[in-house]
Structures are given as structure tokens and as C-alpha cells.
Amino acid sequence: MSDPRTNAGSRPVAVVTGGARRLGRHLCMALAARGYDVVILYRDSETEARALAQHIVDSGGRARTLRVDVAHEAQVAAVFADISAHEGRVDLLVNNVGNYNPQHVTKLNPAVWDATLAANLSGAYYCCFHTLAQMGSGGSIINIGMAGLEGIRANVHGADYYVSKTGLLVLTRALAAAYAEQNIRVNMVSPGQLDNSIDLPSPGEITQWVPLGRAGGLQDIAQAVEYLLDATYVTGVNIDVAGGYRL
């Protein structure tokens, strides 16, 4: 919804990057159902973002959409200035943008590398920076990672993606340590193979990698996000939601 309105300060505000579609969309709906005013950040999917905001409003919630390419710090700064002016607070940031490019590492080139790092890692940092500037005391940041980051091994496909997600984990822990005294918690939720994945293995193959024997659903990720919202003594953790992947 593009019509601005001021949050009187009574309702918590959640900002979700890449919120218009797929996992981001699901998280926006889950957060709205928990009582958050949701700011849906999108880049290209304006129609989907507006439809989602309308769906949330029709369901009794509140939502607003804003366009941003998180790879550009000036755009991120402008979006958070808009949120400061209209919502007046940020209680939760979900850094959900994460472009996956399963290219072989020998086929990578600097332009692809830069684009992945700019969106997945620098973009998340810019959003954290501008969120933290207005968060004050108390709040939560949840970064979306990928399963298996801890003890990561060589993977010749998607090296730029894995580097960006590993960097995001390092950033998660640093911010968690630094902002704990302000009661701002910073955590990571790391999906494994989701059932909407662009390179989903067959059910037979999945059981080779995933002990629980199935791909994850969007609700599995939302469940972990909701756990972290309730878990007020948890910060700096990374939760793999991956059916036991790499056990």
C-alpha cells in the first residue's frame, strides 16, 4: 500500500527485505498474524508486494510496501528514513534477500561476484546499519542464512553465495555481541533444501542428504523465526532448519 500513515507507536514494526514473494512473503504474513505492522520491501515485484499488503490488510493487519535495491546504500538509507517518518520505529528486521547462483566457480566473473556480495552481504549490512540507528533499546534482527555454514566444506557451485552467507554469519555474531547491552538480539535462521528450491533433488535423492527425509516448507522457517522472537535470552545463534542436513 503506498498511502502513508503514522504508527502511533503502540504496535511493533517488522521490516522484511525481499518480502513480496516466496519465503519473504510467508514471513510477512506470519509476522502480521503475530501483530506486527509489516513493511514489505521489494525490488521488482511491485504487483506481488501490493497484493500481499492488501491481503494482510484484508486479514485485519497493517502493511506498507516500499521499493529498494538493497545493494545501493543510498536507497536503503532513504527507505529507512521513510520508515522513521511513517512507522516511527523498527522492532524487527528480517534480512531475507539472498540471491543464489549455482554457477561453477570456474565460470564466475567479477560482475556476478560483486552483484551477489552487494545484495546478500552488503545489502544486509546496510539494512542492519540503518535499523540499528533507529532501534534504540530492545529489538531483534534475523538474518536468513543457509544450512551447513558451520564447518562449511568446498562446494564448486555457488561459491559467491556461500561466501556471502558465511560473511552474514560473521556479521550476525559481531552485531549480537556489540548490541547485546542495548537488548538488541541478532540471530540467523538457515534453511536447508526448501520444497520451493530452484534445484530441488528428487524425493529419493533428498533422503541421501536429509535425515528427516523431506524438503523443508516455508512454515518450518517461519517457526524458527517465531521461536527467536519469543526467545528473549537467545542472541548470536544460527539455527539450521534443514532436517538434519550434514549430520
Ligand X SMILES: NC(=O)c1ccc[n+]([C@@H]2O[C@H](COP(=O)([O-])OP(=O)(O)OC[C@H]3O[C@@H](n4cnc5c(N)ncnc54)[C@H](OP(=O)(O)O)[C@@H]3O)[C@@H](O)[C@H]2O)c1
> What is the secondary structure of 102-119 as a DSSP string?
--BGGG--HHHHHHHHII
Q: Which of 161, 162, 179, 245 is catalytic?
A: 161
By CB under 6 A, name the one of 20, 31, 56, 132 that touches ligand X.
Answer: 20
- Shortest Cβ 17–ligand X spacing (Å): 6
69 touches ligand X by CB under 6 A: yes
Q: How far is CA 109 from CA 69, 113, 157, 159, 223, in A?
A: 21, 6, 13, 11, 37
126 counts as catalytic: no
CB of 143 closer than 8 Å to CB of 186: yes
Nearer to ligand X, 2 or 182 (CB): 2
The 3 state secondary structure assigned to 181-244 is HHCEEEEEEEECCECCCCCCCCHHHHHHHCCCCCCECHHHHHHHHHHHHHCCCCCCCEEEECCC
148 touches ligand X by CB under 6 A: no
94 touches ligand X by CB under 6 A: no
40 touches ligand X by CB under 6 A: no
Binding window for ligand X (CB under 6 A); candidates: 22-30, 31-39, 106-114, 125-133: 22-30
246 touches ligand X by CB under 6 A: no
23 touches ligand X by CB under 6 A: yes
CB of 36 closer than 8 Å to CB of 53: no
222 touches ligand X by CB under 6 A: no
Question: How many Å apart are CA 105 and CA 100, to the nearest integer?
Answer: 13
119 touches ligand X by CB under 6 A: yes
Which residue has the CB atom at the shortest distance from ligand X? 98
In 3D space, the residue among 173, 175, 218 whose CA is nearest the CA of residue 195 turns out to be 218
Residues that bind ligand X (CB under 6 A): 17-18, 20-24, 42-45, 68-71, 96-100, 119, 123, 144, 146, 191, 193-194, 196-197
Residues with active-site annotation: 161
